[in-house]
Chain A
């Protein structure tokens, strides 16, 4: 059970990583950049075991 929970933190981190990668690559569309940040928020707080 515990291992599955750890895997979920990895899955979250993987998705967060993809969002950050896209955010960094995005050079033109400001709106898209904001959206990447918004989706990142819950993932980051989860990964840091805050909420």
Chain B
């Protein structure tokens, strides 16, 4: 064997080993199943494909948890992980699913809305594949996903994404972004089917409120806020003022822009009777000028560069040495969700949604997020779901 073919063979072997090793890691990430322990309030678990047959058997299908009260009342849909690189959403959703009890009305929760996106990674952005949340019984492992669905499930992207049905032109990437594909259609690209299924759920179940939970950069103006269209504005404003005054964290309301199509807070309002809200909480991990993208940064939100930019007044949120820990963000979301329900119930007593045993901001800050997760190994038979 000549020296050159020797080098050739060796380099092929090295590449094969590295590619296989990484391939296994990608495979494990894509196929990791997150255990979700259905809490005492969960009465029914269905699949999103029950509302759009086109999702059946695809990676985009996902669980829908129903928490029905003894008494009839209003209904709320909580959507989490529309963007799977904003995991504050799924943590908030799981806190609800594993703990909340519903006295009146129905709470419907989709903890992993863009399931394909949660099994995708974000090339170029150096994210960890998983992150662990410490709990009393060990740690709970979550997938760190991407903003967009995986090209393995929806490929190719168009030259430019033409929004259905408004025909607004959006970036080609947004065809895989489930916060641009609302209201969707039953025979469109996979992510349009996902949002279409959710629209069908809202219509068939006569849902009163829909809350889409997100996390946003501290340098992005729309953060620490409720985004609401005109029809949800009153409730959003009172809820925001109440949490700011009573629970001690900052929150404001942003109007949903009329000319920006495909977003949940726009299209749910325009294409159904449901009142939509979109919640944002600060996520320093997502900012460009940060140190390494570590699990620590994701969970604690501490970063020297963000701190310095805060001193230069370049952030849109208050920020100090304590960072922006996950329990604060989850707490904010839980409190805002509960407050929106509360305000709606006061205005519409016959469509009230009454929830108990759901923690507020102060509880989460005190106990941490992991405190509210139950050990899947000790879960009651039939109460364990994998997503």
A–B touching in complex (CB under 8 Å): yes
- Output the nearest chain A residue to B19 by Cβ-Cβ distance: A41
A44 at the interface (CB under 8 A from B): yes
Asked whether any CB of chain A lies closer than 8 Å to the CB of B260, the reply is no
18 intermolecular pairs with C-beta atoms under 8 Å apart: A5-B154, A5-B155, A5-B156, A8-B155, A33-B7, A33-B8, A34-B11, A37-B11, A37-B12, A45-B19, A46-B151, A46-B152, A48-B23, A50-B23, A50-B26, A50-B27, A50-B30, A51-B121
Say yes or no for B4: interface residue by CB 8 A criterion: yes
Name A's B-contacting residues (CB within 8 A).
1, 4-5, 8, 27-28, 30, 33-34, 37, 40-41, 44-46, 48-51
- Taking a contact as CB atoms closer than 8 A, the residue among B4, B152, B189 that contacts A51 in the complex is B152
Given known contacts A41-B15, A41-B19, A49 and B7 CB-to-CB distance under 8 angstroms: no
Name the contact of A45 in the complex, choosing from B7, B12, B23, B155 (C-beta under 8 A). B23
Q: Do B4 and A28 have beta carbons less than 8 Å apart?
A: yes
B156 to chain A: closest residue by CB: A8
With contacts A30-B7, A37-B11 taken as known, whether A44 is within 8 angstroms of B121 at the C-beta atoms is no
Residues of B in contact with A (beta carbons under 8 Å apart): 4, 7-8, 11-12, 15, 19, 22-23, 26-27, 30, 121, 151-152, 154-156, 189
> With a CB–CB cut-off of 8 A, which chain B residues contact A45?
19, 22-23, 26
Hey, which chain A residues are within 8 Å of B4, CB to CB?
Answer: 27-28, 30
A28 vs B7: C-alpha distance in the bound complex, in angstroms?
11
Chain B, residue nearest A51 (CB): B26
CA distance A28 to B30 in the complex (A): 40
Cβ–Cβ < 8 Å partners of A27 in chain B: 4
Contacts of B12 in A (CB 8 A): 37
Which residues of B have CB within 8 Å of A41?
15, 19
Question: How far apart sit A37 and B26, CA to CA, in the bound complex (Å)?
Answer: 19
B43 → chain A, closest Cβ, in Å? 36
Q: What residues of A have a CB within 8 angstroms of the CB of B19 in the complex?
A: 41, 44-45
Q: Tell me, rounded to whole Å, the shortest Cβ–Cβ distance linking B119 to chain A.
A: 10
**B22 cross-chain contacts in A, Cβ below 8 A:** 45
Q: Flag if A37 contacts B15 (CB, 8 Å).
A: yes
Most buried by B among A4, A28, A41, A46: A41
Question: Smallest Cβ distance from A24 to chain B, in angstroms?
Answer: 9
The CA-CA distance from A1 to B156 in the complex, in Å, is 9
Expressed in whole angstroms, the Cα–Cα distance for A33 and B19 within the complex equals 16
* Residues of chain A lying within 8 A (CB to CB) of residue B15: 37, 40-41
17 additional contacts (CB under 8 A) given A37-B11, A48-B23, A51-B121 = A5-B156, A27-B4, A30-B4, A30-B7, A33-B7, A33-B8, A34-B11, A41-B15, A41-B19, A44-B19, A45-B19, A49-B152, A50-B26, A50-B27, A50-B30, A51-B26, A51-B152
Q: How far is the CB of B240 from chain A (nearest CB, A)?
A: 41
**Closest residue on chain B to residue A42 by CB atoms:** B123
Cα-based distance from A48 to B22 in the complex (angstroms): 13
Point out the residues of chain A lying under 8 angstroms from B26, CB to CB. Answer: 45, 50-51
